[in-house]
Structure 1
């Protein structure tokens, strides 16, 4: 399997409000930057969109090291929250509907195609590619 490194980030001006997402994908000597935005969204949705859109670009099953500063995403996979959500009919432990179910379902389907390792990075620190994603995501927020 090809090994791909991905950095992602989401941004939101007000929450909810206009938001942007971005990703930097690295494969060998290749580097690709992507971004997009929505007029009315949340920060968590933008974080999820960054991951989804980056994985959708992969043309074949890959081994992915995905770096994110989103505890929402990283904890979901590292602590397997999604297993309980599915078992409970997409309800949280507090018996409330899981927020962003549509995006979580899309992301889980993509994770079945690829071998994804989610790695937590500290946001707004000295991680160059995380900072680049933050810059791209903020620039993608619709004005």
Structure 2
């Protein structure tokens, strides 16, 4: 059994953003984080899940993902994302990330648990601190290529 705790943050929406992840299985514990110069909170929430799943070295695990993002949790648990696939993600944002998630979804037995954010849940609070710190670390910001390209394309219309 593997537990993955996730959180995303963005200062402005869009704005600088980051994600924080904790992976825990038995005695094993790992923290991951990263920041971007321009992104959205929902993208960072979803990217945190993807990064956590990509960090697993083997497949076929029972994974419980804890997130304070209703966007992410409800999209999967209520099976909305599978309907979006059938409709080619028409009118939906973050298609690039959902496609990445869906590829990882097939590799494990995944269950999502929604936890209330900023409610003194230790792992959620730690993920929040990781995400916020990464969103403020200008020296290490990555570029959210898909988001910035889509934003630029929409600005041209």
TM bucket normalised to smaller: over 0.9
Aligned to 2:149: none
Q: CA RMSD of the aligned region, Å?
A: 0.8
In the alignment, structure 1 residue 71 sits paired with structure 2 residue 70:
yes
Q: In 2, distance between residues paired with 1:116 and 1:47? A: 16
Q: In 2, distance between residues paired with 1:89 and 1:140? A: 32
Out of 119, 122, 128, the position equivalent to 1:128 is 122
The correspondence of residues 102-141 of structure 1 with structure 2, limited to 5 A, is 102-141=96-135
Partner-residue secondary structure (3-state), 2:58: coil
Once the two structures are superposed, what CA deviation does each residue of 1:41-78 show, in whole Å capped at 9, x if it has no partner?
00011111100011001011111010000000000011
Q: Structure 1: state its 5+ residue gaps.
A: 92-96
Runs of 4+ with >3 A deviation: none
Q: Structure 2: state its 5+ residue gaps.
A: 139-157
Q: In 2, distance between residues paired with 1:6 and 1:121? A: 12
Larger helix proportion, structure 1 or 2? Answer: 2
The correspondence of residues 1-143 of structure 1 with structure 2, limited to 5 A, is 3-61=1-59, 62-91=61-90, 97-141=91-135, 142-143=137-138
Partner-residue secondary structure (3-state), 1:20: strand
- Normalised by the length of structure 2, the TM-score is 0.84
Q: In 2, distance between residues paired with 1:19 and 1:56? A: 20
User: In the comparison of the two structures, how many residue pairs are matched?
Assistant: 136
Larger strand proportion, structure 1 or 2? Answer: 1
